[in-house]
Structure 1
Amino acid sequence: MPDLRGKVAIITGASSGIGRGTAVEFALLGAHMTLTGRNQENLQATAKASVEAGTPEDKILVVTGDICNDELRKNLVDQTAQKFGRIDVLVNNAGIFTFGSIETTDMAVYDKMMDVNVRSAVRLTQLCVPHLTKTKGAVVNVSSINGVRSMSGCLAYSLSKVALDQLTRCVALELASKQIRVNSVNPGVIPKDIFKRGGMTDEEIVQLMEHCKSTHALGRVGEVSEVAKTIAFLASSDASFITGAQVPVDGGKHAMCPR
C-alpha cells in the first residue's frame, strides 16, 4: 500500500464523491489533511469519516468556502502551512458539471465551469509551488474521461477537462526541475452527486448507470474508492518516477470506439 504517513495534503471538493473518498483513503494511509468545499455539514461528515479511518482530529483542517474566491484560496494554503508546517500534496478535485451543446450552452455557465474546474486548479497550484518545492511534493488533478474522448451534450465540462489535462502536462514539465510531480486521473462514469447537481433526476441517473455498463469495457461503472486509491498512489513515493501522466480509471472506456 502507498505510504502517506505524516504527509500534508490539501483536497478540494472534499465534501462529497471522489473528494470525500480521497480524504478517507488518505486517512487510512496516515496523511494529515486540509479539506475544503462549499458545504460545511458535508465537510464535517468527511472530516468525521477521515478520523474514523485513522487521521487524528487535530490533524484535519476544515476550510469552508467557494474555491473561486481568491481570498479563500490564499487562506487555504496559508492556513495549511501555518497549522502543519508543510504541504506535500495538492489534490485539485473541485469540479462542477452541467449539460449543454454548442447551441444551448449559456456563456455564464461556461465561465463558471472554467472558473471552478480549471482556474481554481491553476491558482492553487501557483500558491502551493513554494511549499511543494521544499517537500518535493506532488499535485494530482482530477480530470475525466471527457478530457480524453469526445462526447456530445456536455461541451463546457469537456473543454474544462481537456484544459485540466493540458495543465497537468505543462506544469509537470515546468516543475520537474524542482522535483515536483504533477499527474491527473481520468475517471470514467462514477456514481456521485455531481450528476444530480448537474440537473439529472434520480431516474435519469439510474438509466445512465445502466447504459454505461455497455460503454465501459469491463461492463460496469466505477467506484469512488477505485479513483481514490489511484490518486493516493500518484501522491505517494510509490509513483516517484511518474509525472505528466494521465491515468485512466475508466474500465477501458478510453480505449473503446463505436462499432
Structure 2
Amino acid sequence: MKRFEGKVALVTGGRSGIGKAVAQRLRDEGARVFTVQRNEDNEFENIIVDFTRPQDVSTVVDKIIQKAGRLDILVNSAGMMQEMLVEDMSLEDWTTHITVNLTAPFLLIKTSIKYLRATGGTIVNIGSIEGIGSNPKHAAYSSSKAGLHGLTRAIAVDYSAAGVRCNTVAPGWIDTDLNIDFIEKMPDPDKFRRGLGSIHPVGRTGKPEEIASLVAWLASEESSFVTGQVWVVDGGRTIKLSQPE
C-alpha cells in the first residue's frame, strides 16, 4: 500500500530542483500532485502563478479544491534569492523576497487550513540553513527563511490539536540544476567542488531526492507525533567549526 494513495498534494516550485523531487516522490507513493509555479509544468497537473502577486496566490487552493475536491498535503518549496548588501537594497528588493518566500506560504497555509483540517492533512515548508545562519549579502533571503521557520512553529502551536501538523525542512547545499550551473561557471569548477566537499563532514553536497525523502516522511502518518520542528539537512555543515587555512 502506497503511503499517499487517494491523497492530494500541492507542491509549489514543483517544476524543478527540490520541489520537483518532492512532487515526484509524492506521486510515486500514490498522491495526486498539483504543482504551482510561474511556468508550465508538463509532468504534473499545473497551476501557473506569479508569487509576487498575493492576490493570485490566494486563489490557488480553491482551484485545486475545484479540481480534486480535497487537499491533504501542502509543500511550500518555491522561493527566490538575490545577493546584495542592505545598503544597496531597495525596499522593492526587500519586499519581493518577503512576498515570495514568506507571504506566499502564509497565504497558501491560510487558504488551505480548513481543507487540511477536514483531511487531517500536513504542511511541510522548505526553509534553509540560512534561516539559522547567513551567507554574505543574503540579508533579505535569510530574514525570509527565518520568518518561515517562525511561521512553522506558530502554525503547529495553533493547529496541531485540530489535526494539522506543520514542519520545516532546512536544506544546506543541494545539487539542484541552479546550483550545478553556478558551480560550472566558476573559474575552476573542480576546485570549487572540492572546497564544497571540505566544509561538509559527509564530504559531499546533498541531492534533491534526499530532501524529498524527509518531506515524504513528514507528510506521512509515520511522523504523526512530529510537529513544529525545523529539520536541518545539510550533511553536517552547520555543526562543523571553521579552522584557519
TM-score (norm 2): 0.91
Deviations 1:93-145 (A, max 9, x none): 11011112233333322211111000000111000001011011100000111
Contact 1:2 1:238 (C-alpha < 8 Å) held by counterparts: no
2:186 aligns with 204
Q: Which of 222, 233, 237 is residue 206 of structure 2 equivalent to?
A: 222
The runs of 5 or more residues in structure 1 that have no matched partner are 48-60
Distance in 2 (CA, whole Å) between partners of 1:38 and 1:229 is 25
1:63-212 to 2 correspondences below 5 Å: 63-195=47-179, 200=182, 202-204=184-186, 206=189, 208-212=192-196
2:38 aligns with 38
The runs of 5 or more residues in structure 2 that have no matched partner are none
Superposition deviation, residue 2 in structure 1? 7.2
Q: Count residues in correspondence.
A: 241
Deviations 1:160-181 (A, max 9, x none): 1111101111111011221110
Contact 1:191 1:209 (C-alpha < 8 Å) held by counterparts: no
Partner AA of 2:121 in structure 1? G
Aligned alpha-carbon RMSD (Å): 2.1
Distance in 2 (CA, whole Å) between partners of 1:192 and 1:170 is 29
- DSSP-derived class of the 1:9 partner: strand
Q: 1:224/1:201 Cα in 2 relative to 1: closer, same or farther (>3 Å)?
A: closer
Deviations 1:62-114 (A, max 9, x none): 11121233343233211211221110110011101111223333332221111
Deviations 1:163-212 (A, max 9, x none): 11011111110112211100000101012244589xx5732394654422
- DSSP-derived class of the 1:213 partner: helix
Distance in 2 (CA, whole Å) between partners of 1:93 and 1:230 is 13
- DSSP-derived class of the 1:103 partner: helix
